[in-house]
Amino acid sequence: MKKAFWKEAVVYQIYPRSFMDSNGDGIGDLQGIASKLDYLKELGVDVIWLSPVFKSPNDDNGYDISDYRDIMDEFGTMADWEQLLEGIHGRGMKLMMDLVVNHSSDEHAWFMESRSSKDSPYRDYYIWRPANEKGEEPNNWVSFFGGSAWQYDEATGEYFLHLFSKKQPDLNWENPTLRKEVYDMMTFWLDKGIDGFRMDVINCISKTPGLPSVGEDRYAWGGEHFMNGPRIHEFLQEMNREVLSKYDIMTVGEMPGATVDQAKLYTGEDRGELNMVFQFEHMDVDSGPGGKWDVRPWTLKGLRDILHKWQVGLEHTGWNSLYLNNHDQPRMVSRFGDAERYHKESAKMLATLLHTLKGTPYIYQGEEFGMTNVKFPSINDYRDIETLNMYREHHIEQGKPEAQTMASIYAKGRDNARTPMQWDASPNGGFTTGTPWIASNPNYVTINAEQSINDPDSIFHYYKKLIALRKQHAIITYGRYELILPEHDEIYAYTRELDGELWLVMLNFFGGEPVFELPEHLAHNARELMISSYDDVDAAQDIRHLKLRPYEARVYKLT
């Protein structure tokens, strides 16, 4: 297994709109981020993944780009960005930017040209089709954000495809001229010195020729025709040949619907495509047949079976990314832990999982001190287009009770992750001196970075210890993963092995007190306690029949 910086790195994701506001307009910005680099250095992270900061009308908070080569006005200037990059590199950290090229904004110059005439040289930068024989949309696909994936455009009397919002028209990757535009833009940023790209829904850029409908219904999910499509590997290999292979960088592809077998093709080291992927399988353990808003209880077996499959599946080919939250997902301590009764314990246990499995761990802003989901009283407090569309469809149009609709938003809405970063107990958690673009979570008075830094037994210091452990011991990065206790309902336990060194990880996933039974083959007599989520563990304690405390996590080196 070849060594690489991106295998050994811990990545920290910043959602700039909500991270730190430096000028009091209530919107996070680049100078705000620059003022917090010492905090990130203190935490010990190696790479910063910056969600999009390019010019955008913010229909989807920057994931709708209107100029790929300039900085969003609210976030600052190109000079601010260059100073930020200098600050990041000056502290020995790296910067990974967000590449959003499955679609652009409808306010991008390319699209303005494309929609102006069927004869525009930019027409085929996007995917235009006439109405079908019934005078309806060209096919029956629905968008990720609800409703048809097609928008009728008066100017030329045709529809354009948008897998996401109406203001995010899909780029036409079948067009080699468009692909070259993208590669030139990537080169522009790489020549400025960035250290890699996180690639937004990059496995959606190849669609089935003919864009066929699915079944006979008026509307249906068409994912089989736009996820992992027929030319996806050709396009990624071309991107790698034309751009990526020329730089010492890190790439992670966001891949809704990708399986382990497909991930092996995307990340196999001899494939010439990407370093790793964000897979989504584990992000649906609490979703029913109705999708993410159809919230169901999850089980450890359900979560562990998926994580285990990915650990084993990519053991020899490819590489895992490890995450339980990001700007699209609810806060992990609320979703998979117990933010009310065992806030600190469950946050630490989940952190231990992410930082001792095999793969590159990703920390989402605020996770490092246990930021939680939020429950705003009114839909008017919410900002995310996906949530607002869902509220309109489910409650207004379909008549679902508001309480049921809001319950789904409380559990799965993306704004759970987008409330302002909670720096301290001052108004709005010290994020802004103005009115934030989205309300702060009222619990900033007790859950904030300053409080966590001042508490030696805090979640923040536990993350610091986990990150330091990874730096000190190659076994965490390169050690072979092996599951033990495959059937336990409450305990997830596994070993990591490297060159004869053996570590044991035991995680009590719930608030009970199950007994951990050490398998015979691991009953070594000597062991060293490497880290534990409770600070009063007796390192010499016999672990052959060990009663674990609520959400207790322990990591031992067995010798």
Can you tell me which of 94, 292, 304, 348 binds ligand TEU, judged by CB under 6 A?
A: 292
Identify whether 29 is a catalytic site residue: no
Q: Which two three-digit tokens encode residue 552?
A: 């207790």
> Known catalytic residue: 200?
yes
Among 144, 183, 221, 410, binds ligand TEU (CB under 6 A): 144
Rg (CA), the chain: 24
Of residues 144 and 298, the one with the C-beta less far from ligand TEU: 144
Amino acid making up residue 77: T
Contact set for ligand TEU, span 173-192 (CB under 6 A): none
Binding to ligand TEU (CB under 6 A): which residues in 469-528?
Answer: none
Q: Which does 27 bind (CB under 5 to 8 A by kind): ligand TEU, Ca ion, none?
A: Ca ion
Report which secondary-structure segment, H or E, holds 505. Answer: strand 501-508
Q: Does 328 bind ligand TEU (CB under 6 A)?
A: yes
Determine if 25 is a binding residue for Ca ion (CB under 5 A): yes
Among 68, 164, 376, 556, binds ligand TEU (CB under 6 A): 164
Report what 386 binds from ligand TEU, Ca ion, none; CB cut-off 5-8 Å by kind.
Answer: ligand TEU
Half-sphere exposure of 310 (CA within 13 A, CB side): 26
Question: Which of 98, 109, 38 is CA-nearest to residue 326?
Answer: 98
* DSSP structure string for 231-247: THHHHHHHHHHHTGGGS
Q: Among 347, 327, 332, 328, which residue's Cα sits nearest to residue 298?
A: 332
Q: Which of 158, 170, 254, 368 is catalytic?
A: 254
Measured CA to CA in angstroms, residue 371 lies from 1, 45, 332, 460 at distances of: 36, 18, 9, 11
Q: Residue 461 phi/psi, 5° resolution?
A: -70, -25
Work out how close the CB of 145 gets to ligand TEU at its nearest, in angstroms, rounded to a whole number.
7
> Quick check: 49 binds ligand TEU (CB under 6 A)?
no
Amino acid at 284: D
Contact set for ligand TEU, span 208-267 (CB under 6 A): 254, 256
Residues in the chain, overall count: 559
| Binding track over 95-114 against ligand TEU, x by CB under 6 A | -----x--------------
| Of residues 35 and 245, the one with the C-beta less far from Ca ion | 35
Instruction: Return the H-helix or E-strand segment holding 33.
Output: helix 30-34
Q: How many residues bind ligand TEU (CB under 6 A)?
A: 14
- The site partner of 25 among Ca ion, ligand TEU, none (C-beta below 5 to 8 Å per kind) is Ca ion
Residue 46 CA: distances (Å) to CA of 71, 281, 362? 24, 26, 10
Query: Where on the chain is the footprint of ligand TEU (CB under 6 A)?
Result: 60, 63, 100, 144, 164, 200-201, 254, 256, 292, 327-328, 386, 414
Could you list the active site residues?
200, 254
What is the contact surface with Ca ion in residues (CB under 5 A)? Answer: 21, 23, 25, 27, 29
